[in-house]
Amino acid sequence: MIFFREFLLHPCFKRRVRVCVIFNPTAKGDRARRFRSHLEGLGNSCVMRETTGPGDGVEQARAAVKEGFLKIVAAGGDGTINEVANGIVQADGLGQVRLGVLPWGSVNVFAKELRIPTRFEAAWDVVLNGVDRVIDLGWMELGAEQEKRCFVQLAGAGLDGRAVELVDWEQKKKLGDLAYVLAAWKALGEDLPVITARVDDREVSGQLVLLGNGRFYGGRHVFFPGARMDDGALDVLVLEEVRQWRILSYGWATLRNRVTSLKGVHYFQTDQLELCAEKRVPVEMEGDAAGQLPEPPLSGRIWVQGRALRVLVAGQ
């Protein structure tokens, strides 16, 4: 009887789950070529969908949900993961579809947060044999139409969003996350807007607002020490003033994972808040430009959807 049960549980008898891999074919360089070679080696074990430009990952993921795929894999960086997650949400795939990740971006913060391996073979094994972890989603209203968009790891408004707008993408391919540092330095020379964060009856203002669903920012830098991806809350970091002369203190604190201890830095947790400013405020999500906050007199609402997205992670 025991032998018969083990026989039925053999992988050959498991119900085959359809897998769709969504990836950006435009990346260049030796690492990208090796990655594409790995993808081609998967053969008929999955269906490949190439993106054709910004936002296409959303449409590809929506289509994959409607076609009945139960595992949808984002092959790329954090921006690709964001697009695929938004596509799953828009197609009402939450609860039934599991998100897989094959990390090959320049930073891969989300993969680091969930300990998804960066080596292709190990990451693909997680897609096939991993376990579910159900995480929260952060939501934000953007633009004049107050369009709703979700994020899985991080969003930023102010300096952060402006830096992403200024990133030289050819430079990013060569320098990785250092390209963001150079863009942020350039943005620091501009007249940055002051953003007000409203939480219940409290207001905090600053030139940079970061919203964390997980602990990490910009790699393995711990900006949100109290964050968990399934705690029903966002961790919020507000920096009152960001100037070039203060960048060394911020950089030193970042290396020591002590940003929250700096003077002029406000750190708190909440399940909802509003952001407003008197002029245009650019926003980034997962390291890609996402638009801007609604302009006055409107404000941008931000909230949490608790335990919403199923993500494939390595088993214990």
Q: What is the pLDDT of residues 227-246, one digit of tens each?
A: 999 999 999 999 998 887 67
Residue 54: asked if its preceding bond is cis (omega within 30°), the reply is no
Cα Rg, the chain, nearest whole Å = 20
Tell me what pLDDT residue 210 has: 97
Q: Check if the beta carbon of residue 28 is closer than 8 Å to that of residue 173.
A: yes
Q: Which residues contact 9 (CB under 8 A, 6 or more apart)?
A: none
* C-alpha 133: how far from chain center: 16
Backbone dihedral angles phi then psi of residue 20, each to the nearest 5 degrees: -120, 125
CB contact at 8 A, 247 and 259: no
The reported pLDDT for the residue numbered 1 is 41
Conformation bin of residue 43: beta by default, left when phi > 0, alpha when psi is -120 to 50: left
pTM: 0.90
pLDDT of residue 251: 76
pLDDT at site 5: 39
CA distance 24 to 169: 15
pLDDT at residue 120, as a whole number: 93
pLDDT reported for residue 29: 63
pLDDT at 36: 78
Identity of the residue numbered 134: V
* Nearest-angstrom CA–CA distance, 71 and 93: 10
Spell out the domains of the chain, with CATH numbers in brackets: 2-135+309-313 (3.40.50.10330), 139-304 (2.60.200.40)
Q: Which of 163, 171, 280, 282 lies closest to 217 in space, CA to CA?
A: 163
pLDDT digits (tens, 9 = 90+) for 200-226: 989 999 999 999 999 999 888 999 999
| Residue ranges in the chain whose pLDDT is less than 70 | 1-16, 26-32, 245, 247
